Amino acid sequence: MENSKASDQKDSRFPYRKATPFHYHKLDAESPRSSNNEIGFSPGSDRRFAFSRQTLFHQSSVASGDSVTPMLSRTSSSIDIPLNKRGWSEETFLWGEEEGSDEKPSIFTHLLSGFRILRSGNRPMRRLLLLIFLNVAYSTVELCLGLLLGRVGLVSDAINLTFGCGLLTFSLFAMAASRKKPDRIYTYGYKRLEVLSAFTNALFLLFMSFSLAVEALHAFIQDESEHKHYLIVSAVTNLLVNLIGVWFFRNYARINLVYRKAEDMNYHSVCLHVLADSIRSAGLILASWLLSLGVKNAEVLCLGLVSVTVYILVMPLFRTTGGILLQMSPPSIPSSALSKSMRQVMSREDVSEVSQARLWELVPGHVIGSLSLQVKKGIDDDRPVLQYVHGLYHDLGVQDLTVQTDYA
């Protein structure tokens, strides 16, 4: 824990931990253009918002004192991602200036955006694009071969691969689109897309595990085992392509991972996807090898094993992304810390009641909350209370807090 704290403080990857204004969203673009998610309704309002944020910043830094507070520690049982990737968080403003919607782009726009990603995307995006390209090429070749030779197995494998490719493309799209600045309709920005794509990937992997189990059952009942033999070449190639993918995303090849930013989830899901595919190919190769050795029911065993493995791989990711999408309380903030903060707020003499503390995570690392205070009557200026509460919750890791004060 210590070394990660130290490396946090000197690592410029996490700029948002160093400053403590009320408004967190500002910090990822240090441009003077300040209308990130502030909905200004008149042209002159930008300066006013910047001014107000500045005064609040001064007040809050006075109130909270220490401005380089590390975040609350995560659960100690997970393994941290090594903090050695430098270029991953650079904000290449790929989609920042785009104004159009991404709903129905044409093929031409796809190609253009593909080239743009190649040129200026960050490293994982480029790697993912390369991976998708490899997969598409491989599955096209397989499809053509299968159609020409009339082998159903090849065609089915190609279609299976195409589904996977479609999902990876959605992940890539989510990576690219999540950099857009928040606008009027999506007031929290587009970062949730990454969580959504991670969830979709996890769902697809669950479906795959389920279908492998059904296939194992099928093989168990029917006891026909020849058709696996001609797929060896395709299985080996599939395995190689997927192992390349695992190598690209090797930092995320773990089951339980601490997610610090939104992209972590997406990368983790892509890595698990590729890993599961490679496990499946390896299982097929193993099954046909065992069959050639004469082991009975090898197919059932291998398929069942692969299905269980993929299920175990995917379940933690599925549960975490599901928790974020369900607006669960952030697991990174333990409830003891929450109740301690509430007690501290209540112990102030001008506060009579705290109710409705609701916290949720937009993306990993960005917690939003709302709180309701009952303040004793007669206190006219509630600014100290507000600052105190904001500072307290900021130390917990809640960047956005809306506090409603009622005068009882």
Partner 1 sequence: MEPQNSKDHGHRIEVSADMPAVEKGYGGNRVCREVTCGFSDAKASSQEAKERSASMRKLWIAVVMCIIFMSVEVAGGIKANSLAILTDAAHLLSDVAAFAISLFSLWASGWEATPRQSYGFFRIEILGTLVSIQIIWLLTGILVYEAIARLIGGTGEVQGRLMFIVSAFGLVVNVIMACVLGPDHSHGHGHGHDHGHSGHDHGKGAHHDHDHEETDHNIHSQTVNIDIHHHDEGHSKQHMEHHHIHREADLSQPLIDSCAREKKERNINVQGAYLHVLGDSIQSVGVMIGGAIIWMKPQWKCIDLICTLIFSVIVLYTTIRMLRNILEVLMESTPREIDARQLEKGLCEMEEVVAIHELHIWAITVGKVLLACHVKIKLDADADMVLDKVIDYIRREYNISHVTIQIERE
Residue 52, both tokens = 């107000």
CB of 77 to partner 1, least distance (A): 18
Cβ–Cβ contacts within 10 Å for residue 265, how many? Answer: 28
CA gap 113, 95 in Å, rounded: 10
Cβ–Cβ contacts within 10 Å for residue 134, how many? Answer: 16
Question: In this complex, which beta carbon is closest to partner 1, that of residue 79 or of residue 147?
Answer: 147
> How big, in percent rounded to 5, are the helix, strand and coil portions of the chain?
60, 10, 30
CB of 252 to partner 1, least distance (A): 23
Site residues (vs partner 1, CB under 8 A): 23, 37-39, 41, 45, 48-49, 52, 146-147, 150, 152, 155-156, 159, 163, 184-188, 190, 192-193, 196, 200, 203-204, 207, 322, 325-329, 335, 338-339, 342-343, 346, 352-360, 362, 370-372, 374, 381-383, 386, 400, 402-408
CA gap 191, 196 in Å, rounded: 9
DSSP 227: T
Instruction: Go through 352-389 and write b for each residue having 16 or more CB atoms within 10 A of its CB, e for each that does not.
Output: eebeebebbbbbbbbbbbebebbbeeeeeebeebbbbb
CB of 173 to partner 1, least distance (A): 13
Question: In this complex, which beta carbon is closest to partner 1, that of residue 148 or of residue 293?
Answer: 148
CB of 313 to partner 1, least distance (A): 19
CB of 224 to partner 1, least distance (A): 15
Question: In this complex, which beta carbon is closest to partner 1, that of residue 237 or of residue 405?
Answer: 405
Name the strands in the sheet holding 351-363, side by side, starting at the edge strand that comes first in the sequence: 351-363, 366-375, 398-407
Question: In this complex, which beta carbon is closest to partner 1, that of residue 81 or of residue 219?
Answer: 219
CB of 8 to partner 1, least distance (A): 27
Question: In this complex, which beta carbon is closest to partner 1, that of residue 154 or of residue 282?
Answer: 154
Question: In this complex, which beta carbon is closest to partner 1, that of residue 238 or of residue 399?
Answer: 399
